[in-house]
Amino acid sequence: MAVTILIPTALRVFAGVQAEVTVEGDTAGRAIEAFADKFPDIRQHLFDENNALRSFVNVYIGEKNIKTVNGLDTPVRDGDALMLVPAIAGGTGAI
Amino acid sequence: MIRLPPDKKDAVRIEGEEAYPDECCGFLLGTLEKDGLRNVVEILPVANARERKERHHRFHIDADDFMRAERQARSGELDIVGFYHSHPDHPAEPSEYDREHALPFYSYVIVAVSKGIARELTSWELLPDRSRFNQEY
């Protein structure tokens, strides 16, 4: 089934400068794998050396974070949009 | 490079003063111009999601807030072009902690807030190799 990957601005340079792309997959994990296969340069930003989703990358289906559903095994339906969401943090670091 | 209009700079300064002695944080929504300019047209404040006792020197933007900001931006044909946060009683320069947690491409606006009064406001972009920030202004 066809799902749309919504790409944050920081990662678009690795995906042909596109804001969204359509891939095939029946779970969130397979859809993101298909996305990484299509744009190999983005893989290192999404997956670690064990091929697990990096801790600072969140994936949403609609308004649901897949971490609160079934992780990468969360099923997707035809026409779903998967949003990639990076973790954002910082600060002075002063004690 | 970023274009941050004076009224948006003032809004960031006010956010910094209101959050003091904690760090404030939020999104910069705007347009991406063909020459690479990030043109900020809206700032979107969000709650600092760090635990209470850490907020004076750390900020974290909750993933749910990012998801909603991304939706808001896309619905207005805008993009998330950066983030802002304050440095209470600390210079408006990115810390090593900022560098470790930053992503290339985005603009990172920092406002220094000294004893509750907003002072210098700067903007920074992380180099693609993550080695350091370039100051945008």
Other CB atoms within a 10 A radius of the CB of residue A73 amount to: 11
B79 neighbourhood in chain A, CB within 8 Å: 9, 19
Kindly tell me if the per-residue pLDDT of A45 is higher than 90. no
Of A13, A19, A58, the CB nearest to B63: A58
In a domain, A58, yes or no: yes
Q: How many domains does chain B have?
A: 1
Closest chain B C-alpha to A62 CA, distance in angstroms? 9
Pairing of the two strands A81-86 and A2-6: parallel
Return the pLDDT at A55. Answer: 84
pLDDT bucket at A95, cuts 50 / 70 / 90: low
Q: What is the CATH number of the domain that holds A7?
A: 3.10.20.30
A94 neighbourhood in chain B, CB within 8 Å: 57, 90, 95
Searching chain A, which residue's CA lies closest to the CA of residue B61?
A88
In a domain, A11, yes or no: yes
Q: What is the CATH number of the domain that holds B24?
A: 3.40.140.10
Return the pLDDT at A1. Answer: 86
CA dihedral sign, ordered B12, B13, B14, B17: positive
Return the pLDDT at B98. Answer: 92
Show the domain range for B123.
2-135
Show the domain range for A82.
2-86
Q: How far apart are CA B56 and CA B17, in angstroms?
A: 12
In a domain, A73, yes or no: yes
Structure tokens that stand for B17 in this block:
């003063």
User: B23–A93: do the CB atoms touch at under 8 Å?
Assistant: no
10-residue block means of pLDDT along chain B (137 residues)? 96 98 98 93 97 95 96 96 97 93 93 98 92 94
In a domain, A91, yes or no: no
Start-to-end C-alpha separation, chain B? 9
Of B64, B79, B85, the CB nearest to A90: B85
Q: Average of pLDDT values for A37-51?
A: 90
ipTM surpassing 0.95, yes or no? Answer: no
Q: Each residue of A66-90: pLDDT tens digit?
A: 999 999 999 999 999 999 999 899 9
Kindly tell me if the per-residue pLDDT of A32 is higher than 90. yes
